[in-house]
Each structure stands twice: as structure tokens, then as C-alpha cells.
């Protein structure tokens, strides 16, 4: 009985060991078959699945910072100067380069904004409304101190300082 029992136990151990070995090989075998291509594809698919939503989430976040500079870019100032019976107010305006100054005529008289000197207007060519206007705006790109006047009433004067 002891010998049979030992033999039986030995056989059982061998069977168990063989089964475990077989199972482990079978467990490895499919992995090896898949691993090279399919696993990579699955991993790529997983990468895409994981990477796509974050990029979609970060895109709006990236657009927002990009929107902020866009909003800051037009910010280069728009200042207004009012033309009344007493002249331009404020008479001196400081504006950053690229800024725009809007001249509003609150009178029924002619407001012809033009750079000095009268009547040639050569100090800052282009800074000349060329006609009587109720509203005239000019964008100053050239730094400097640009004196101007109402071409129809030279005593009404002002200065735009572009920094
Ligand atoms: Cu003039």
C-alpha cells in the first residue's frame, strides 16, 4: 500500500505539475501571439482613446489663453477727444503706439482735424481728416508728439503724444 500510495502521489504530482505547466504555457502562448501586433494596436487604440479626450479638453483651454492675447491685442487703446465750442478736450492726449484717437464733434461747426503746421499739415502725413466731419478717428503708429489743429479754426489746437 505504501509503495502504491507513493507512486499514486508521485503520479498525481506529475499530473498536477504537468497541468500547471501546460496551463502556464497556454496562458503565455496567446499573449505571445497577440503581444507583438495586436497588443500594440490595442495600446495604440488605448493611447488614442486616452489622448483624444484630453486634447479635446485642453484645446478649449488652449483657445482661451490664445483668446486672451487676442483680446489684449485690440486693447491698444481707443481714446476720445471731444471738440466743443472752446476747442479740443483734453487738449493733450497720451496714447500708446498703435492706439486710436477718436475726435467727436459736439458742435454744429466744422471740425477738420489736421496735423500742424497749418495749412500744409506735414508734421504727420495722413493725420488729416480732409473734410469737415462730425467724427474722425486716426490710429497713431509713429511715436512722437503730434500737434494738430482744426483746419477751419486754427486757434483750436491739441497734441497727441504717442509713446
Ligand atoms: Cu490746417
Tell me, in angstroms, the distance from the centre of ligand 1 to residue 163's CA.
24
Distance (Å) from CA 114 to ligand 1 centroid: 6
Q: Which of 111, 82, 76, 123 is nearest to 95 (CA)?
A: 76
Q: How far is the CA of 133 from the centre of ligand 1 (A)?
A: 14
Residue of 64, 101, 107, 111 lying closest to 80 (CA atoms): 101
- Res 83: pLDDT: 98
Q: Measure 150 CA to ligand 1 centroid, in angstroms.
A: 6
Q: What is the pLDDT of residues 108-137, one digit of tens each?
A: 999 999 999 999 999 999 999 999 999 999
Domains, in order of start, for the chain: 1-75 (no CATH), 78-162 (2.60.40.420)
What is the residue-wise DSSP string for 79-135? Answer: EEEEEETTEEESSEEEE-TTEEEEEEE-SSS---EEESSTTT--SSTT-B--S--SE
pLDDT tens for each residue of 30-53: 554 544 555 455 555 555 555 445
Residue indicated by cell numbers 491685442: 73
Closest by CA to 79, choosing from 63, 91, 57, 95, is 95
Amino acid at each position: 500500500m505504501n509503495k502504491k500510495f507513493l507512486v499514486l502521489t508521485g503520479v498525481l504530482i506529475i499530473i498536477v505539475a504537468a497541468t500547471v505547466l501546460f496551463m502556464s504555457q497556454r496562458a503565455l502562448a496567446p499573449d505571445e501571439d497577440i503581444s507583438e501586433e495586436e497588443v500594440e494596436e490595442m495600446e495604440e487604440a488605448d493611447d488614442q482613446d486616452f489622448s483624444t479626450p484630453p486634447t479635446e479638453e485642453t484645446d478649449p483651454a488652449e483657445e482661451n489663453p490664445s483668446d486672451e492675447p487676442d483680446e489684449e491685442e485690440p486693447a491698444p487703446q481707443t481714446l476720445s477727444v471731444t471738440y466743443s465750442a472752446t476747442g479740443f478736450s483734453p487738449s493733450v492726449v497720451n496714447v500708446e503706439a498703435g492706439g486710436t484717437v477718436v475726435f467727436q464733434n459736439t458742435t454744429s461747426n466744422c471740425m477738420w482735424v489736421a496735423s500742424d503746421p497749418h495749412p500744409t499739415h506735414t508734421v504727420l502725413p495722413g493725420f488729416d481728416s480732409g473734410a469737415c466731419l462730425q467724427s474722425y478717428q486716426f490710429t497713431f503708429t509713429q511715436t512722437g508728439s503730434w500737434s494738430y489743429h482744426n483746419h477751419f479754426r486754427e486757434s483750436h489746437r491739441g497734441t497727441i503724444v504717442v509713446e
